[in-house]
């Protein structure tokens, strides 16, 4: 249900952008990335500069793909907040709404909603569209109130922003349902998790409450990765594995893990929360 709602939102954005014939670009300076203020406990934040990596959630017309600078999504259970940043003038957004019979603005509200109130969206400023299926004012505040402390630190955000696609969660209630996490994995004791992928390489940092939990997770992760390689017919290089996995107290780090483009494109849709 949430996927259909986000797809509907982005199809609407496509319509809005296509009626805009002139280029418009206003860059609002903020100290960081907007997704840094979106995270809260239990939710997942996904961000990318290539919206095609969010194909399970977002469908964009190829003609406007070049307008997108960043797409970020917060997923919390059945609720979502989607943020699209790029060449999206607020005036064009509002004009587009005039030609969209499925959406309307109720008296006293600054956002547009569909007939069932299952999708709420607005352009709070130039170059920005916010969509949600729950509480729009709260969704917009989580994106716009950049005077509050960041919920994702700058070093973590820098890694996320430089990746093709990145996932972050604090106290996650589930892990992505990808082959690497098949069999025996649990979120028990995970205080923070970061996954990011570039090309056909994935890395992760996982922080635990105790060193014992970190050690158990690290061993299971190695075994799972070896099984994944063997299943794919890839020769296991034990020397390379030693360099790819490391433990630092309560932190587990894995780098350069082999991942296919198909797995990357389903990484976000596979979040199991």
The answer to whether 127 and 86 have CB atoms below 8 angstroms apart is yes
- ∠ CA 247-249-251, nearest 5°, is 60
The per-residue pLDDT for range 159-189, each reduced to its tens digit, is 999 999 999 999 998 898 888 888 788 899 9
d(CA 125, CA 266): 31
Q: What is the largest CA-CA distance in the chain?
A: 65
Helix H or strand E segment including 73: strand 68-76
Of 16-25, 71-80, 101-110, 125-134, which gets the smallest average pLDDT?
Answer: 16-25
- Predicted confidence band of residue 239 (pLDDT cuts 50, 70, 90): confident
* Average pLDDT for 6-33: 55
Task: Look at residue 184 in the predicted model and tell me its pLDDT.
Answer: 81
* Average pLDDT for 206-224: 95
Mean pLDDT over the full length of the chain: 84
Task: Look at residue 177 in the predicted model and tell me its pLDDT.
Answer: 83
Task: Look at residue 266 in the predicted model and tell me its pLDDT.
Answer: 82
* Average pLDDT for 215-237: 92
Task: Look at residue 28 in the predicted model and tell me its pLDDT.
Answer: 54
d(CA 91, CA 102): 19
* Average pLDDT for 35-43: 93
Identify the residue with better confidence: 31 or 255: 255
DSSP string, 143-201: HH-TTSPPSS-HHHHHHHHHSSEEEEEES-S--B-SGGG-SS---TTEEEEEEEEETTE
DSSP string, 46-59: EEES-GGGGTTT--
Residues 6+ apart with CB under 8 A from 100: 12, 15
Of 47, 34, 32, nearest to 155 by C-alpha is 32
The per-residue pLDDT for range 51-108, each reduced to its tens digit, is 777 666 655 555 556 778 898 999 888 888 989 898 878 887 787 777 777 788 888 8
Of 150, 165, 116, 157, nearest to 1 by C-alpha is 116
Residues 6+ apart with CB under 8 A from 185: 175, 217, 220, 224
d(CA 202, CA 166): 9
Helix pair 90-98, 2-18: axis angle to 10 deg: 100
The rounded Cα 253 to chain-centroid distance in angstroms is 20
d(CA 188, CA 179): 19
Q: What's the token pair of residue 48?
A: 């990318």
Of 257, 263, 217, nearest to 240 by C-alpha is 257
């Amino acid at each position: 249900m949430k996927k259909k709602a986000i797809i509907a939102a982005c199809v609407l954005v496509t319509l809005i952008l296509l009626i805009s014939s002139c280029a418009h670009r206003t860059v609002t300076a903020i100290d960081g990335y907007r997704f840094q203020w979106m995270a809260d406990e239990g939710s997942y934040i996904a961000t990318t500069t290539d919206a095609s990596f969010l194909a399970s959630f977002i469908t964009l017309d190829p003609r406007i793909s070049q307008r997108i600078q960043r797409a970020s999504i917060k997923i919390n259970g059945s609720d979502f907040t989607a943020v699209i940043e790029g060449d999206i003038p607020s005036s064009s957004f509002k004009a587009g709404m005039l030609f969209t019979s499925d959406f309307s603005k109720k008296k006293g509200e600054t956002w547009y909603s569909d007939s069932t109130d299952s999708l709420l969206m607005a352009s709070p400023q130039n170059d920005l569209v916010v969509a949600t299926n729950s509480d729009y004012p709260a969704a917009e505040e989580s994106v716009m109130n950049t005077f509050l402390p960041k919920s994702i630190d700058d070093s973590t955000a820098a890694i996320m922003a430089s990746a093709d696609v990145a996932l972050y969660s604090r106290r996650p209630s589930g892990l992505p349902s990808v082959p690497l996490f098949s069999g025996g994995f649990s979120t028990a004791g995970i205080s923070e998790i970061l996954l990011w992928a570039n090309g056909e390489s994935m890395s992760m940092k996982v922080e635990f409450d105790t060193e014992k939990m970190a050690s158990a997770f690290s061993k299971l992760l190695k075994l799972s990765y070896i099984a994944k390689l063997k299943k794919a017919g890839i020769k296991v290089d034990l020397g390379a594995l030693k360099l790819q996995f490391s433990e630092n107290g309560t932190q587990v780090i894995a780098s350069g893990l082999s991942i296919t483009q198909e797995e990357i494109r389903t990484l976000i849709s596979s979040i199991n929360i």
